[in-house]
Structure 1
């Protein structure tokens, strides 16, 4: 059995290139680093480094371990974070990570329900776009992640995660008030092929390019931002048009911007994601149920 402390020291030696540099980085003495590497070699049963003049080089066994060391340490770190998360959840403290438009709509409604029905649950709010939010969940940096996906662009879900579908969110086009097409109830994207465009986060941009390609044109994207307030101001100023989900229309603040449904209709799936082993815990279950109720209340909005 390899000692994780020795693997961490080995990993630092490989990354820094010497025992001396690794000792400085780890706050050890050089003899302590040497002792740990020797102990690791005894555990492995093979030498991991060989002398090449005044330099150290990895042996074949060392190169093999080096390929795995980062993954091993990453998995250990994630396991530690998830164990700490388990302790927090048992104490009724939940870290909820959501994308910006959900944090401005679904999350406040969820929090209001929780405070009314289960005031003992404490929630810490974080913000990240997918897939970063899902990566935070897998790393143990949050307990529940809200994320969205688009038809035809869904990635395979890691086996450790459970998806709870909350709602479908209709995409709209944001137009400046007075735009010739703003009098319509719905707008076909192909009619705006010559327009300038403002794109959102990486996942939204990929979907936007996908639906534009289906409509037979390549959009002229002049600005990219995931700030929904900046998006509205850019549209109002005439910089470009934007495709935005209906959740954004819920807090559309700019009086010079209006939203119209896209034709053909495109919807993104909004879901909550939880580690499979954490789903039965009372605090997790209560927050998930409140999220489901908030999502259900928005169906048809």
Structure 2
């Protein structure tokens, strides 16, 4: 009795060679050409095909001048692509692990404060390490640190505070960032170059970061220092895309990290309002788990520091 409906028992005799043969056969179009590419005889190629068809209890090809896959053949082709892809990735990972490296890098980041630094670091790093794939996750910094502690991330980039000093976490400061007051084309202050007091802007329609963020804490402290007890934001968001879109669709005013502001001003998407005080954001840094050492992580950190220093030098010049 067939066990195909009951799960994976039918696949226990399935081999990587079966899957490889099917992909080569579909690409080659004939048994003779597929056998040549796999360095085997045509009877041997036919044997592999017959074995696989017996396992799935269905024909996999339609014979003609050029072979075509049946519906069952298409399903097995998708399985072959998935399995052989995973095998190749695992092989790369094993080879990297044997050298004390990693074939992939999982990075967590917050948009505020990193701006162009992280993209430039990733691009530069992959020029030197083209075999390393990178996954970037955006989330609140507290979430990123929790994922670091659980070893679900390799690196986190964001605003450093006491949370970055947890036992198994270590960090490097990349640069010091400030908070800028910004508007979009929806504001009458677009293009305004005069100096404003922070207090004079308090009654405007504010878009602020959410209360749980480091930027919001620093911004609230600046308002208190300016003699403003409290502002009621019209919108609270930590998403740069939402901030920019709203600033262009209404008479809003918002807060953004200086690093991000510089990038967006070059693109013509934000205008910085001059105010009577410096609002410090804090140190932007890179954090990793010392319990999961990797030369790949170390090399990425070195690249990030180089990119940060290059940015500092360009600003000074």
TM range (shorter): 0.5 to 0.7
Residue aligning to 1:212: 223
CA offset digits 1:100-130 (Å, max 9, x no partner) = 2466522210112112222233322111121
Structure 1 residue 260 corresponds to structure 2 residue 270 = no
Residue aligning to 2:233: 221
Whether contact under 8 Å (1:174, 1:259) holds in the other structure is yes
CA offset digits 1:173-220 (Å, max 9, x no partner) = 112456458533654322212212111242122222222111111112
Q: Which SS does the other structure have where 2:127 is aligned? A: helix
Q: Structure 2 residue aligned with 1:269, among 269, 283, 293?
A: 283
Q: Structure 2 residue aligned with 1:115, among 126, 132, 140?
A: 126
Aligned residues: 213
- Mark the CA change 1:255 to 1:147 in structure 2 (over 3 Å): closer, same or farther: closer
Whether contact under 8 Å (1:103, 1:127) holds in the other structure is no
Q: Which SS does the other structure have where 1:216 is aligned? A: coil
CA distance in 1, matches of 2:194, 2:310: 23
**Unmatched runs of 5 consecutive residues or more in structure 2:** 1-95
Whether contact under 8 Å (1:92, 1:120) holds in the other structure is yes
Residue aligning to 1:291: 304
Q: Structure 2 residue aligned with 1:141, among 149, 152, 166?
A: 152
Residue aligning to 1:78: none
- Mark the CA change 1:257 to 1:273 in structure 2 (over 3 Å): closer, same or farther: closer
Whether contact under 8 Å (1:195, 1:219) holds in the other structure is no
CA offset digits 1:237-263 (Å, max 9, x no partner) = 234211111222213588574113544
- Mark the CA change 1:104 to 1:171 in structure 2 (over 3 Å): closer, same or farther: closer
Larger radius of gyration: 2
In the superposition, the TM-score normalised over structure 1's length comes to 0.62
CA distance in 1, matches of 2:148, 2:284: 16
- Mark the CA change 1:184 to 1:104 in structure 2 (over 3 Å): closer, same or farther: closer
In the TM superposition, residue 87 of structure 1 has moved relative to its aligned partner by 6.0
1:99-248 paired onto structure 2 within 5 Å: 99-101=110-112, 105-149=116-160, 154-155=162-163, 157-177=165-185, 179-180=188-189, 182-184=191-193, 187-201=196-210, 202-203=212-213, 204-217=215-228, 218-248=230-260
Residue aligning to 1:15: none
Whether contact under 8 Å (1:199, 1:224) holds in the other structure is yes
Q: Which SS does the other structure have where 1:132 is aligned? A: helix
Whether contact under 8 Å (2:114, 2:157) holds in the other structure is no
In the TM superposition, residue 140 of structure 1 has moved relative to its aligned partner by 1.2
- Mark the CA change 1:199 to 1:103 in structure 2 (over 3 Å): closer, same or farther: same
In the superposition, the TM-score normalised over structure 2's length comes to 0.59
- Mark the CA change 1:196 to 1:94 in structure 2 (over 3 Å): closer, same or farther: same
Whether contact under 8 Å (2:184, 2:190) holds in the other structure is no
CA distance in 2, matches of 1:186, 1:245: 19
Whether contact under 8 Å (2:112, 2:256) holds in the other structure is no
Whether contact under 8 Å (2:208, 2:235) holds in the other structure is yes
**Unmatched runs of 5 consecutive residues or more in structure 1:** 1-85
Whether contact under 8 Å (2:184, 2:247) holds in the other structure is yes
